[in-house]
Structure 1
Amino acid sequence: MPLLEAGELRPDAWSLVEDEAPLPDGPAIVSLARLRAEAATLAGRNAPLGVALPPEAQPEEIAPFLDRLALVAVRLPKSKDGRAFTQIRALREHHGFTGEVRATGHVLPDQYAMLLRCGVSTIEVAEGTDPATWARSRDAIRIAYQAAQTPDRPLSLLRRKLELA
């Protein structure tokens, strides 16, 4: 599947590797179970390593490995499941993760702006996805009340009133 990054589509160089499968020479995403079981072996790996963080897992569970990870993939199992948003914010704000955070699963264009504000780097999208659809969703609402991982800052209510006047 292609990835959406900064509003543009790009190919995915990463391979999602099953627990029993051998690791490829290139970038590989492993399960949390495999990361735990093979932590010592994976630490000596020369190629980039990522982990697929399941929705029920807490970011604290991968905190000891974050310095070795280049990517954390969070999964949205359905559109009404907000656990991935919490995982992303915790990775960025509480654990200082600076690598790629990827949203996978049932991700809707309507969620794009919030995912970016939480700290997502890339989104796994279906083949044939039109980036313009995602850009329209991202730009539909420009006002936010909460702090963000993006460079923009939410405006206070007073500043908002002054800017609209």
Structure 2
Amino acid sequence: MTRAAHESAPSDERRVQVAELLDRATRWAAARADIVGLLLAGSWARGAARPDSDVDLVVLTTAPEAYADDAWAAELGLGARIRTGQWGPVTEYRHRAADGLEVEIGVAHPDWARTDPVDAGTRRVVTDGTRPLHDPSGLLAALLRACGS
């Protein structure tokens, strides 16, 4: 690895931290009956994370309104909420942990993953790099196939 590439890669400590977060989020999603999919997106999914990269997750739930408060974020140890935004059918909750790691959780109804047709915004997210973490019914696998991923 070149010096420039090494300097632009996350530290081993950050990689462990993100791996622990993903493991915790996957177990959390599997324990919730309302969650039908959990997807890692962006730079961490495509193996291109930098030291300052945030972690992008998409939670597909039959009860998106249940995520308006921060009780679920506390279960995940996400830290303080620093922003909430709306991106079409996805509500973004951005959190910053005490160590500085930022985690963006996009919460949406399972319709976000419909494949007939695939929404243009959904397609952009999927083709930019994704990795299903929890997909008990194959909903995310079907979406990735429909997007050619």
TM-score, normalised by the number of residues in structure 2: 0.28
Which structure has more strand as a fraction of its residues?
2
Structure number with greater Rg is 1
TM-score, normalised by the number of residues in structure 1: 0.26
Task: Give the structure, 1 or 2, with the largest relative contact order (CA under 8 Å, sep 6 or more).
Answer: 2
